[in-house]
Amino acid sequence: MAEGERWERPVMLPRLIQGGMGVGVSGWALARETSRHGALGVVSGTVIDTLLVRRLAMGDPGGHLRRAMAAFPVPEVAARVLDRYFRERAEDAAPASSPGANEGGSDLASGPEPGQRFKLASMLRAKATPEREWLLVLANFVEVYLAKEGHGGVVGINYLHKVQFPTLPSLYGAMLAGVDVVLMGAGIPGDIPPVIDSLSRHEAASVWLDVLDAGDQKYALTFDPRAVWEGKQMGCAARRPPELRKPSFLAIVSSATLARALLKKAPGGIDGFVVEAPIAGGHNAPPRGVQQLSVRGEPIYGERDVVDMAQMAALGSPFWMAGGCASREQFSAAIAGGARGIQVGTAFAFCDESGLDPELRRGFLARLLRGEADVFTDPLASPTNFPFKVASMGDSLSEAGVYEDRPRLCDLGYLRRACRKPDGTLDYRCPAEPVEDYVSKGGALEDTVGRKCLCNALVANLGLGQRRPDTYEEPPLLTAGNDLDCIRPFITPEKLSYHARDVIEALVPAEYRVNVRAGAGAGVTEGARIG
| CATH (domain of 133) | 3.20.20.70
What's the pTM?
0.91
Alpha-carbon span 318 to 270, nearest angstrom: 10
Alpha-carbon span 219 to 469, nearest angstrom: 38
CA dihedral 156, 162, 167, 168 (to 10 degrees): 120
* Residues, the chain: 531
The pLDDT of residue 99 is 42
Alpha-carbon span 294 to 297, nearest angstrom: 5
The pLDDT of residue 267 is 82
Alpha-carbon span 408 to 112, nearest angstrom: 22
CB of 234 closer than 8 Å to CB of 134 = yes
The pLDDT of residue 90 is 52
How many other C-beta atoms can be found within 10 angstroms of the C-beta atom of residue 58?
21
Residue numbers of the domain that contains 263 = 5-285+301-513
CB of 462 closer than 8 Å to CB of 23 = yes
Q: Identify whether 527 is part of a domain.
A: no
Domain count, the chain: 1
- Closest by CA to 504, choosing from 365, 309, 341, is 341
Alpha-carbon span 442 to 420, nearest angstrom: 9
CB of 246 closer than 8 Å to CB of 197 = yes
CB of 273 closer than 8 Å to CB of 253 = yes
- Closest by CA to 262, choosing from 270, 252, 254, is 270
The pLDDT of residue 529 is 39
389: β partners: 377
Spatial neighbors of 492 by CB under 8 A, at least 6 apart, are 369
CA dihedral 26, 27, 29, 30 (to 10 degrees): 10
Q: Identify whether 518 is part of a domain.
A: no
**The dihedral sign for the CA sequence 271, 272, 278, 279:** negative
Spatial neighbors of 333 by CB under 8 A, at least 6 apart, are none
Alpha-carbon span 22 to 281, nearest angstrom: 9
Alpha-carbon span 337 to 330, nearest angstrom: 10
- Closest by CA to 210, choosing from 412, 399, 416, 496, is 416
H or E stretch at 280: none
Alpha-carbon span 70 to 52, nearest angstrom: 14
- Classify residue 125 by its DSSP letter: -
Alpha-carbon span 119 to 51, nearest angstrom: 11
CB of 284 closer than 8 Å to CB of 386 = yes
The pLDDT of residue 467 is 87
Alpha-carbon span 150 to 67, nearest angstrom: 13
Longest distance between any two alpha carbons in the chain, whole Å: 63
How many other C-beta atoms can be found within 10 angstroms of the C-beta atom of residue 132?
18
Indicate the residue type of 81.
Answer: V
Q: Identify whether 295 is part of a domain.
A: no
CB of 465 closer than 8 Å to CB of 411 = no
Residue 402 has φ and ψ, to the nearest 5°, of -65, -40
Distance between start and end Cα atoms, the chain: 20
Alpha-carbon span 31 to 190, nearest angstrom: 26
The pLDDT of residue 335 is 95
The pLDDT of residue 515 is 75
For 114, 133, 158, 311, 530, the CA distances from 180, given in Å and listed in that order, are: 41, 22, 11, 27, 10
Alpha-carbon span 41 to 441, nearest angstrom: 41
| CB hemisphere CA count around 456 (13 angstroms) | 28
How many other C-beta atoms can be found within 10 angstroms of the C-beta atom of residue 5?
11
Q: Identify whether 388 is part of a domain.
A: yes
| CB hemisphere CA count around 64 (13 angstroms) | 29
Alpha-carbon span 205 to 202, nearest angstrom: 9
**What Rg value do the Cα atoms of the chain yield, rounded?**
22
Per-residue pLDDT in tens (0 to 9) along the chain, 531 residues: 443 333 333 456 899 999 999 899 999 999 999 999 999 999 999 999 999 999 999 999 999 999 999 999 999 999 999 999 998 765 554 444 444 434 554 444 456 665 578 999 999 999 999 999 999 999 999 999 999 999 999 999 999 999 999 999 999 999 999 999 999 988 889 999 999 999 999 999 999 999 999 998 999 999 999 999 999 999 999 999 999 999 999 999 999 999 999 999 888 889 999 999 988 988 888 898 888 999 999 999 998 889 999 999 999 999 999 999 999 999 999 999 999 999 999 999 999 999 999 999 999 999 999 999 999 999 999 999 999 999 999 999 999 999 999 999 999 999 999 999 999 999 999 999 999 999 999 999 999 999 999 999 999 999 999 987 776 899 999 999 999 999 999 999 999 999 999 999 999 998 888 777 676 554 544 444 343
Q: Identify whether 77 is part of a domain.
A: yes
How many other C-beta atoms can be found within 10 angstroms of the C-beta atom of residue 519?
10
Q: Identify whether 296 is part of a domain.
A: no
